[in-house]
Amino acid sequence: QVQLVESGGGLVQAGGSLRLSCAASGRTYSPYATMGWFRQAPGKEREFVAVISWNGGRTDYADSVKGRFTISIDNNKNTMYLQMNSLKPGDTAVYYCAASLSYGLLKGPSEYDYWGQGTPVTVSS
């Protein structure tokens, strides 16, 4: 059973920081090719935040988070991270991690095969 479990969400004031984690399990014979973070605010569609190749060599970010968020991966722990700094109220959303068996800096939700349950992030002004 493939599982992605997010943690690290919470309530933070504007300008603060949070680090999200996504622990992957259940796929021991071959790593995922690509992993990503998405978010969904109330009443809005799920949107791309950041993506990383499984070996960590390639990353990309949504324009809205560039320079503030950093995606990383620890293959030894099968865990992906999203360091979020200088948070804004507009970053408030449920954050989801996702894994794909396909290669490339994938930005579309439909390109991902597995999803976590989401972790809420609330940024107060």
- Tokens describing residue 29: 């014979």
| CB proximity list for 76: less than 8 A, separation 6 or greater | none
Query: What are the two backbone dihedrals, phi and then psi, of residue 14, each rounded to the nearest 5 degrees?
Result: -55, 135
Instruction: Please say whether the beta carbons of 62 and 48 come within 8 A.
Output: yes
pLDDT (tens digit per residue) in 50-60:
999 988 889 99
Q: Which two tokens stand for residue 83?
A: 């360091």
Instruction: List the single range of 3-7, 20-24, 76-80, 95-99 with lowest mean pLDDT.
Output: 76-80
Tally of CA atoms within 13 A in the half-sphere of 110 that contains its CB:
1
Q: What is the pLDDT of residue 75?
A: 83
Give the 3-state secondary structure of residue 76: helix
What's the whole-number mean pLDDT along residues 15-44?
A: 87
Q: Give the mean pLDDT of 104-125.
A: 96
